[in-house]
Amino acid sequence: MNDQPEQPEGSPDPAQTGAQGAAQNGPQKEAQRVSPVDRRRALMLGAFAASTIVSVRPALAQTAGSILNCEIPVPDRTQTGRYIATDGQLVAPDTPGAFPPPGRNFTGEEVKQALNGRTLPGATYEQNQAYLNYIRRLQAGQSGFTCYASLQMPR
């Protein structure tokens, strides 16, 4: 997901368009005699790896609470019987170190709180980690993906 650019506190006039006005370089007392074309401001080229472009992505998260009462099955209904490994992958039943399914769906609200630090209802610490990792791996087309996607807050 893209990060939002940090905006400076305070706002330029909303009606103003174009680049910011030139900053001062050199002693202030020269300002009156220096024409605008001689007065250069510093151009921020940024760091090598730092992106200066944010691309708008389709949004559902903010409205999701108003339009969707959703649940996330763990695992997908087509995978009943599989166990969930610590990293969230589905494995054969009784695989060592993997956990049986919780036996219930989790609501979007329960998952949102779990992503913020609480534990999924009825889950031990390790089960919670496994189930959340399963949910984080969900792809489009799997049950619960839309529900999970709708939980993503922009910040």
Partner 1 sequence: MHEFRVRVGPAAFRVGSAWKAPIDALRRLYGDYPEPALVDFTVRLDPARPWRRYVRPSVLIAGDFMLPDAAPLPLAQGLLAAEMGMNMQMALGWRRHLLLHAGAAEKDGRALVMTGHSGSGKSTMAALLGEGGWRFMSDEFALLDLGLGRRADDKTAAAASQESGAILPFPRLVSLKNEGIGAMEQRVPHWRLGPRLRGTPKGDVRHLVPPAAAIAKMDVPAAPRLIVFPRFGEARAVRTVAPGELFMRLTQASTNYVALGQAGFAALAHFCQTVPARAIDYRNGEEGVELIERLWEEAP
Partner 2 sequence: MDGELLYTRVPDEELLWHPLGPVTLVYHVRSGITHIVMEPVPEILAAMGAGPIGAAAIAVNLAQRFDLPPTDANALIGARLAELETLGLIERAARRA
Residues that bind partner 1 (CB under 8 A): 4-5, 7-12, 14-15, 17, 54, 56-63, 65-72, 105, 107-109, 143-147, 150, 153-154
d(CA 138, CA 113): 18
Q: Which two tokens stand for residue 45?
A: 């080229």
d(CA 99, CA 116): 22
Q: Token match 């839309």: residue? A: 146
Binding flag, residue 69, partner 2 (CB under 8 A)? no
Binding flag, residue 125, partner 2 (CB under 8 A)? no
Task: Indicate the residue among 96 and 141 with the shorter CB distance to partner 1.
Answer: 141
25's contact among partner 1, partner 2, none, with CB below 5 to 8 A by partner kind, is partner 2
Q: State which amino acid sits at residue 92.
A: A
Task: Say if CB 22 and CB 41 are below 8 A apart.
Answer: yes
Q: Which two tokens stand for residue 61?
A: 């998260």
Smallest gap from residue 8 Cβ to partner 1 (A): 7
Q: Which residues bind partner 2 (CB under 8 A)?
A: 5, 7-8, 11-12, 14, 16-20, 25, 40-49, 51-56
